Structure 1
Amino acid sequence: MHDKVLRTLEFNKIREHLLAFTSSELGKEKAGELKPSSDFEEIVKWQEETDEAANVIRLKGNVPLGGIFDIRPHAKRAQIGGMLSPQELMEVASTIRAGRILTRFFEELIEEEHRFEMINQYISDLAPLQELQQTITYAIGDHGEVLDSASEKLRTLRNQLRTNEARVREKLESMIRSSNAQKMLSDAIITIRNDRFVIPVKQEYRSAYGGIIHDQSSSGQTLFIEPQVIVQLNNVLQETRVKEQQEIERILVELSAAAGGHTYELLQNVKILAQVDFIFAKARYAKEIKASKPAMNHEGRVKLLKAKHPLIPVKEVVPNDIYLGGDFTTIVITGPNTGGKTVALKTIGLCTLMAQAGLQIPALDGSETAVFRSVFADIGDEQSIEQSLSTFSSHMVNIVEILKQVDQESLVLFDELGAGTDPQEGAALAISILDEVYSRGARVIATTHYPELKAYGYDRDGVINASVEFDVESLRPTYKLLIGVPGRSNAFEISKRLGLNESVIENARSHVGAETNKVENMIASLEESRRQAERDREAAADYVKQSEKLHKDLQKQIMEYHQERDTLMEKAVDKAAKLVEKAKEEAEEVISDLRKMRIEKNAEIKEHELIEARSRLEKSAPPVKKPKKSQMGTTERTLKPGDEVKVTSFDQKGHLIEKVSNDEWQVQMGILKMKVKESDLQFSGSPKEKEVKHIAAVRGRDFHVNLELDLRGERFENALSRVEKYIDDALLAAYPRVSIIHGKGTGALRQGVQDYLKNHRAVKRVRFGEASEGGTGVTIVEFK
C-alpha cells in the first residue's frame, strides 16, 4: 500500500489510537509499524489472531501483560561480555517473569477447556528461564538496587559500613552537642561532602577543630570540615565502601554473564511478548470501537453491515450498509455538500485497510471485505501554490498516477471526480475516467456533483447509483447512504422552505429542461417508495414478533392446562381407588361376621350363597381405571404420516407429520406442533388425496429447507425469531442435524442462540463446529 493513500484515508490516526491499547514499549513499536498487507493467507492469520485475543478478553476481561521491557540492547551487550547495571538486570528478570505469568494464564485457560490455538503457538515458544530469573531477583531488588542477599561478602561489608557510620555519627553528634558548638558552628547538623562526614564550622573557628576542609559556602563564611578526630574513622569507612563497590561489580559481572548465556532465548521471548502485546492491543481497540471480525475473500466482494467511520465519535456517526463487487463493481454517489459522501467513501477505504492490517472493523457480524493488492484514493483539495497547481490540476496529477497502476485487484476511491473545471467538460472527463477504470476490472466508488453522472449507472452493467439522504423538512442531511437511488437536487425545495418567493422559484423551474424535471421527479418517487417500503417492513416485523409471542404464550398455556388436568385426574383416581378398597374391606368384614354367625347359631346360610353375596358386592363397586394418556381405538390400523388422529389427552384433532421414535409421533394441531406418544393417539381417518400430497410435500426432500441458517448481521431479537422458525422447518423436513452460522464477534448472538437451542424440546445435542465446519462461528444442532 502507498504511504500517500494511508495518509489520505487517515490510517495513521488508527495507528495512533492503537498505541493507547498496548502494554509495553515493544507493543507500541509493533503498533507504530502497522501496515496493511496484500497477502491473503497472512491477513486471514492476523484476523484469526485478533479474534482469539478478543475472545480471551471477553472471557477474562484482561490479560496479564505488565512488566515487559525492551531488553534487546541489554541481552546483546551481555552477550559480548558487557556489564549490565542493576536496573537493566531487573528489567531482564521482570520480562522473564512476565512471560512465565502469561504462560500460566493460558495454561489455566486450557484447563478450562478453552482453546486459543494461534496465540498458544506463541506462548508455547516462550523460554521459561526460571533459574536465571531467580538468580537475578535474589540479588537485585524491584527498584534496581543490589540486595544484601546477593553474596555473603556483600552482607558482611554492609554490616561493617553500618557499624562504622554509626561510630562516626556518634562522635560528630557529641561534638555538635557540646557547649561551644552553638557559637562555633553555623548549624548543628552533620552533612556529607566527597563521601565523608563533615560539620559546618564558622570561618573564624576553623582552627578549633583541625582536620580537613572539604567545601565552603558561597559566601565563604561557612567551612565544611572533617574534624581530625574522625579522619581515621572516615578513612576506614571509605575503604569499606570501596570494597563494597568492588563486590557489587563482581556480582553484576557474574549476573551479566549468566544473562549473556541466554541471549537467544531472551531475544526470542522479547519478540514473542511484543507480538502478543500487539495482538491484544488490536483486540482491545476492537472492543473500544465495537468492531467485529470480517470474512475475507479473493473475489473483490465487499459487504459492510452498519459500518461506521472509526474516527467519528460513536454518538455522532451514522452507520451505513455498503455493498460492492457482487451485482455491481462501481458506485457513483451523488448528493449535497456536507451530506456525508466523503465520509462514506473514507469508511469503505479505511475499513478495507483495517481489515488488511489484521484489525477488526466497526461493522456488524457477517460483514465481508476483499483483499486488494492496491488501494488508490483521490480525496480532498491538494492544490499547491508552490507547484502552481490548481484544484483541478492536483486531482488530475493523482488520477494520472492511479491510471498507470490500477488493475482488477484494485480498489479506487474518487472524491468529486472531475471537479474544479467547466461542468460540461468535467462531467465528460469523469465519465471517461470511470469507463477506463471500470474496463480494467477495478472496484470503484466515486462521488460527484454532476447531474450527468446520475444516468451513468442506468447506461452500464455493473454500475449503480447511490446518494446520501437529505431531509428537506429539517434542511439537514441524515448522512444515510442509499444504494440504488441517485441523489437529486433539493435547491428549489430548500429555497421554498427558506422563504423565497414562489414566483421566483417557478420562473427558475421554467429554465430547467423537461428531461431534468422528469429525472428529478423519478428520483423523488423512488425515495418515497423506499421510505414506504421501510415503514411497511418495520410494521410487518412488529406483527411477526407479536404473533410469535402469542404463539409461545398459547403453547405454554395449553401445556400448563393439560399438565394440571392430568394431575387432578390422577388425584381423583387415587382417591376413588382408596374408597373402593375401603368398601371391599368392609364387605369382607360383613361376610366374616356372617360366617361366624352361621357357625355359632347354626344358621341356614350356605357357603355358595356367601360367595354369591361377595360377588355381588364386588360388582356393585364402580370400575376404577387410571386415565390413559391416549388410546388407539378399536382399529388395529398402522398409523402413517398424514393420518387424521385425535389426541385423547388434549381432546384435540390433528394430523400426523412424522414418526420421531418407536412410540412417538410429531402431530400438527392447528398452529401447534408437538411430539405425542402413540398410545395417546386415536385414528380418525385417512386424509384426502390432496391433503396427503400436501403433507408429503411438507415432509419430503423437495421441501426447500437449507441445511444451514446464516444469522450474521442479524439483530439479536430477529435472529432468535429466525432460529425458532428454522428449527420447525428443519423438523418438518426430517433433517437429523443442521448448522446455524452466527459468526464469532462479541459472542452475544452465539450465546443467545445456544441458550435457546439447549432448552428446545426437539434438540438432542448442541455443539460448536469443527475447524473444517467453521469453528466457534457455527453451532451444529442434532435433533432427537
Structure 2
Amino acid sequence: MNQKALNILEYHLIREKVAAYSQNEVSAALISRLEPQSDASWIEAELEKLEEARLIHMQASEPGMSQLTEVKQLTKRASIGSMLSVTELNRIKNNIRVTNRYKTYLLNMTEDSDIKLPLLRDRFQHLPVLSHVSDAIDEKCDETMLYDNASSTLYDIRQQKKTINRRIKEKLDSIVRSQANQKKLSDAIVTIRNDRQVIPVRSEYKQDFPGIVHDTSASGQTFYIEPNSIVELSSQLNTVTARENEEVSRILYELSAQVAESQHDIDWITTVMGELDFQLAKAKYGHSINGVIADTADERAIELPSAWHPLLDPSSVVKNSIIFGDDIDAVIITGPNTGGKTVTLKTVGLLIAMNQSGLMIPAGVGARLSIFNDVYCDIGDEQSIEQSLSTFSSHMTNIVSILKSMDDKSLVLFDELGAGTDPSEGAALAMSILDRCLETGVMTMATTHYPELKAYSYNRDHVMNASVEFDVESLSPTYKLLMGVPGKSNAFEISKKLGLDLSIIKNARQLIHMDNIEINDMISALERNTRQAENDREEMARLKQESAALHQELSEQFAAYQQMKETLVENAKMKANEIVQKAEKEADAIIKDLKSLRSEHQSLKENELIERKGKFKNLYNEAALKKQNKQQEAEKIVAGDHVKVLSYGQKGVILSVDKDEAVVQMGIIKMKLPLTDFKKEQPEKEKQIRVVPRANRQTIKMELDLRGERYEDALQRLESYLDQALLSNYSQVTIIHGKGTGALQKGVQDYLKRSKVVASFRGGMPSEGGFGVTVVELK
C-alpha cells in the first residue's frame, strides 16, 4: 500500500498503539515494520494466528516474556569463536527459559480443554529443547559473574585471592589503627589508587612510611603510599588475579562454544517467541478497542456494521454502519461541514489497512472486507507555497496520479471532489472523474458539497448516495451516517431557528426552482424512512443478541442436564451392579446349600424346599419389584381351587378363604397368604400308579421323552424312570431331552453323574438323535 495514503490515514499512530502492548524488543521490532499487505494468503494466515493469540489473551494465567531479547548478534559472535560475557550469556539463558515456560503453558492449555490452538501447538511441539544450554549457564554464573565453584581451579584461585586480600587488609588496618600513626595520617582509612590498596599519609611524614607512592592530593599535602610491607602481597594478588581472569575466560569460552553449537536453534526459538508476542500485542490492542476479526470476502465488498475510527475517543464516538450494497461501486456522501464526512472516509481507509495488516478492526460482528491491492486518498489540503500550487491544483495533481495508478482492485477516497474552483465546472469535473472510476471498476467513496452530485446516483448504475445527519434543533451535526439518502440543504430551517424574518424565508422559498423543492421534500422523506429503518435494524440487532445469549444459556443448561443425566445413569448402573452382585452371592449361597443337602443324601422335606425357593424371591431389591410378581387384581378364589403361589413359585390347594386372605396347602405346609398372591390353575390329572413287579419282561419303554417338561418336573420323572428301568432289568435306556438351550441336557447329565443306579452315560450318536439324547448304561 502506498506510503502517502498511509500517512494521510495516520496508520503510524495505529502501529504505535500496538507497540504499546509489546513485551520485548523482538516483537517491538516486528511491529515497527508492520505494513498492510495485498497477499490474501498472508492476510488469512495472519488472522488465523491473531485468533489463536486472542484465545491466549483471554486466559488469566498467561506467562510473561519481557525477558526475551534479540540475540542473533550474540549467537553469531559465538559461532565465529568470540567469547560472550556473563550478561550476554544470561540473555540467551532467559530466552530459552521464556520459551520453555510458554511451551509448557500452551501444551497444557490445549491438552485437556476446549481451547484449540492447532497452529501454535504444532509449532511449539517442534521447537528444539535447549535446556542443557540454559542449565549450563545457570550452573556456572549468576546475573553478573561466575560462581566460585564454576570450576575447581577457579575455586582454588579465589580462595587464594581472599587469603591474600585478608592479609593485606590486616596489615593496613594495623598501620591505620596504630596510635603512633594517627597524627601522621590524613585519614584513618584504607583507600584504592591504581587498583592498589594504599594509606593517606601527611606529606611531612612520608619518610616514616617507606613504600610506593601511587598518588598525591591536589594540594600536595597527602601522599597515597603502598607500604613496602604489603608490596609483595600486592604483587602476589596481581598474579592470582591474572590467573583468575584466565580461568574465567576459559569457562566463558566453553559456555560460548555451547551457544555456538545451538546457534540456529536459539535464533529459531527467539524468532518464534517474538512472533508470538507480536500476535499477542495485536490481540491486546484489538481487545482494547473491542475490535473484531473481519471475514474475508471473495467478491468485492465493504461491510462495516457499527464501525468507528480507532483514534477517536471510544466513549463518545458515534458508530456508523458503512455498507456498500449489492452491485454498488461508488458512494457519494453529502452533508454539512464538520459533520463527519472526512472521518468516514478515513475510517474506511484505515480499517481496510488494519485488516490487511492482520489486525482486529473497530466494528461490529459480521464485518466483511475484500482484499484491495491499494488504497488511494485525496484527503486534506496539500497546497504547496514553495511550488505555488493552489488548493485546486494540489488536489488535481494528486487526482491525476491516482487515476493513472488505480485498477479494479483499488479503493479510492476523494474528499470534497472538485472543490476549489467554479461550482458548475467543479461539479461537472467531479462527475467526470467518478465516471472514469466507474468505467475502470474502482470502488470509490467521495464527499462533496455540490447539489448536482446528489442526483448523480439516480442517473448512474452502481452508485449510492449517503449523507451525514444534521440536527436543526441543536444546530449541530449528529455525526450519524445515513446510507442511501442524499444530504439536503438546511439553510431555511437554520435561518428560521436563528430568528430570520419569516417573510424573508417565504420569499426565498418562492425563488427556489420547484424541482429543488421537490428534491428536498424527497430527501426529507428518505431521511425519515432511513432513520426508521436504522432504528429497526438496531432493535433487530438487540433482539438477535438477546436471542443468541438466551440460546447460549439454554445450550449450557441442556449440556449440564445431559451431563447430570449421564452421571445419574452411571450411578444407577453402578448401584444396579452392586445389587446384582449381592443377589448373585446370595443365590450362589442358596444353591450351594441345596447341593450340599443333596450330596449328603439328606432327605429334603418339602417345607425346607419351599423355604429355600422362597429365598430366591426375597432377592428382589424393593417391595415395588416384589409386587410385580403378584396379581394386580385378586381373582375369584374359593376353597378347593388349585392355585400357584406367586411369591414362592409353588403349587397348592386352597383350604379356606377369609375376606382378602386364604389358607393354602403346599405339600405338607399350610400358609395364610393374601388373595393377590394366588393364580388359579387347572388341577393336575391324577397319575396312575403302576406297580411294576420284578420280572424280566418289559413294562416301560426303553426311552424317556422329557421335551417340553419343566426343569424340576423333568428331573422328578427321570428319577422315577430310572428306578423303574432298574426294576425292569434294563441295561441301557435313552433319555430324550432335546437340544434347546442346553439347560435341560445339562441338568439331566448332572443328575446322572450323581445317581447310584447309573454305570455310565454318553451322548447320542447321529443315528440315535445326536445331542438331543443321552444314552444311559444302568448297573
The match for 1:238 is 238
| Cα pair 2:211 2:225 within 8 Å, conserved | yes
Alignment of 1:179-190 (within 5 A): 179-190=179-190
The match for 1:333 is 333
Give 1:433 deviation, angstroms: 0.5
> 2-side partners of 1:157 and 1:272: how far apart?
42
Alignment of 1:456-467 (within 5 A): 456-467=456-467
How many residues are aligned here?
A: 575
> 1-side partners of 2:116 and 2:541: how far apart?
39
The match for 1:120 is 121
> 2-side partners of 1:538 and 1:260: how far apart?
62
Alignment of 1:96-135 (within 5 A): 96-113=96-113, 114-135=115-136
> 2-side partners of 1:237 and 1:422: how far apart?
92
The match for 2:735 is none
Aligned residue identity for 1:117: P
Give 1:542 deviation, angstroms: 9.3
Give 1:61 deviation, angstroms: 5.2
Aligned residue identity for 1:273: M
The match for 2:283 is 283
The match for 2:65 is 65
Give 1:309 deviation, angstroms: 0.9
> 2-side partners of 1:178 and 1:199: how far apart?
13
Instruction: Evaluate the alpha carbon distance shift between residue 11 and residue 256 of structure 1 in structure 2; reply closer, same or farther with a 3 A threshold.
Output: same
- For the pair 1:255 / 2:250, whether they are aligned, the reply is no
The match for 1:198 is 198
Aligned residue identity for 2:130: L
1:430-480, Cα deviation, whole Å (9 max, x unpaired): 110011011111111111111111111111111100011111111221111
| Cα pair 2:467 2:487 within 8 Å, conserved | yes
Aligned residue identity for 2:46: W
| Cα pair 1:472 1:490 within 8 Å, conserved | yes
The match for 2:84 is 84
| Cα pair 1:304 1:363 within 8 Å, conserved | yes
Aligned residue identity for 2:480: K
| Cα pair 1:86 1:140 within 8 Å, conserved | yes
Aligned residue identity for 2:479: Y
The match for 1:320 is 320
Instruction: Evaluate the alpha carbon distance shift between residue 442 and residue 534 of structure 1 in structure 2; reply closer, same or farther with a 3 A threshold.
Output: closer
> 2-side partners of 1:542 and 1:22: how far apart?
35
Give 1:533 deviation, angstroms: 4.6
Instruction: Evaluate the alpha carbon distance shift between residue 230 and residue 518 of structure 1 in structure 2; reply closer, same or farther with a 3 A threshold.
Output: same
| Cα pair 1:333 1:467 within 8 Å, conserved | yes
Secondary structure of 1:444's aligned partner:
strand
> 2-side partners of 1:154 and 1:49: how far apart?
49
TM-score using structure 1 length: 0.69
Aligned residue identity for 1:294: A
- For the pair 1:311 / 2:315, whether they are aligned, the reply is no
Alignment of 1:758-769 (within 5 A): none
The match for 1:749 is none
> 2-side partners of 1:546 and 1:358: how far apart?
30
> 1-side partners of 2:186 and 2:427: how far apart?
91
Task: Give the stretch that moved more between structures: 226-235 or 334-343.
Answer: 226-235
Instruction: Evaluate the alpha carbon distance shift between residue 325 and residue 65 of structure 1 in structure 2; reply closer, same or farther with a 3 A threshold.
Output: farther
The match for 1:531 is 531
Alignment of 1:348-363 (within 5 A): 348-363=348-363
Give 1:362 deviation, angstroms: 1.1
Give 1:399 deviation, angstroms: 0.7
> 1-side partners of 2:470 and 2:184: how far apart?
90
> 2-side partners of 1:7 and 1:152: how far apart?
62
The match for 1:158 is 158
- Structure 2: tracts of 5 or more residues without a match: 558-622, 640-653, 663-675, 677-779
> 2-side partners of 1:252 and 1:549: how far apart?
61
Give 1:179 deviation, angstroms: 1.4
Give 1:549 deviation, angstroms: 13
1:507-559, Cα deviation, whole Å (9 max, x unpaired): 44344332222212221222223334555677899999999999x99xx9xxx
Instruction: Evaluate the alpha carbon distance shift between residue 251 and residue 106 of structure 1 in structure 2; reply closer, same or farther with a 3 A threshold.
Output: same
> 2-side partners of 1:255 and 1:542: how far apart?
63
Instruction: Evaluate the alpha carbon distance shift between residue 276 and residue 249 of structure 1 in structure 2; reply closer, same or farther with a 3 A threshold.
Output: same
1:73-111, Cα deviation, whole Å (9 max, x unpaired): 111111111111221111111112212222111111122
Instruction: Evaluate the alpha carbon distance shift between residue 6 and residue 535 of structure 1 in structure 2; reply closer, same or farther with a 3 A threshold.
Output: closer
| Cα pair 2:107 2:121 within 8 Å, conserved | no
> 2-side partners of 1:6 and 1:30: how far apart?
18
The match for 2:560 is none
Secondary structure of 1:88's aligned partner:
helix
Aligned residue identity for 1:32: S
TM-score using structure 2 length: 0.69
Give 1:289 deviation, angstroms: 1.2
The match for 1:394 is 394
> 2-side partners of 1:214 and 1:361: how far apart?
69
Pick 1 or 2: higher relative contact order, CA cutoff 8 A, min separation 6.
Answer: 1
The match for 1:370 is 370
- For the pair 1:518 / 2:501, whether they are aligned, the reply is no
- For the pair 1:455 / 2:447, whether they are aligned, the reply is no
> 1-side partners of 2:24 and 2:549: how far apart?
51
> 2-side partners of 1:537 and 1:275: how far apart?
40
> 2-side partners of 1:378 and 1:541: how far apart?
35
Higher Rg: 2
| Cα pair 1:291 1:364 within 8 Å, conserved | yes
| Cα pair 1:485 1:523 within 8 Å, conserved | yes
Give 1:35 deviation, angstroms: 0.8
The match for 1:22 is 22
Secondary structure of 2:13's aligned partner:
helix
> 1-side partners of 2:210 and 2:365: how far apart?
86
> 1-side partners of 2:27 and 2:262: how far apart?
22
Aligned residue identity for 2:171: K
Give 1:121 deviation, angstroms: 3.5
Secondary structure of 2:179's aligned partner:
coil
Instruction: Evaluate the alpha carbon distance shift between residue 507 and residue 212 of structure 1 in structure 2; reply closer, same or farther with a 3 A threshold.
Output: farther
| Cα pair 1:99 1:128 within 8 Å, conserved | no
Instruction: Evaluate the alpha carbon distance shift between residue 125 and residue 30 of structure 1 in structure 2; reply closer, same or farther with a 3 A threshold.
Output: farther
Aligned residue identity for 1:509: R
> 1-side partners of 2:58 and 2:37: how far apart?
27
Aligned residue identity for 1:404: K
| Cα pair 1:64 1:101 within 8 Å, conserved | no
Instruction: Evaluate the alpha carbon distance shift between residue 181 and residue 391 of structure 1 in structure 2; reply closer, same or farther with a 3 A threshold.
Output: farther
The match for 1:145 is 145
> 1-side partners of 2:38 and 2:548: how far apart?
47
The match for 1:704 is none
Give 1:248 deviation, angstroms: 0.9
| Cα pair 1:216 1:223 within 8 Å, conserved | yes
Give 1:259 deviation, angstroms: 1.2
> 1-side partners of 2:390 and 2:2: how far apart?
23
Give 1:217 deviation, angstroms: 2.2
Instruction: Evaluate the alpha carbon distance shift between residue 84 and residue 532 of structure 1 in structure 2; reply closer, same or farther with a 3 A threshold.
Output: closer
Secondary structure of 1:200's aligned partner:
strand
1:214-256, Cα deviation, whole Å (9 max, x unpaired): 1222232222221222212211122111111111111112211
Instruction: Evaluate the alpha carbon distance shift between residue 542 and residue 38 of structure 1 in structure 2; reply closer, same or farther with a 3 A threshold.
Output: closer
Instruction: Evaluate the alpha carbon distance shift between residue 152 and residue 325 of structure 1 in structure 2; reply closer, same or farther with a 3 A threshold.
Output: farther
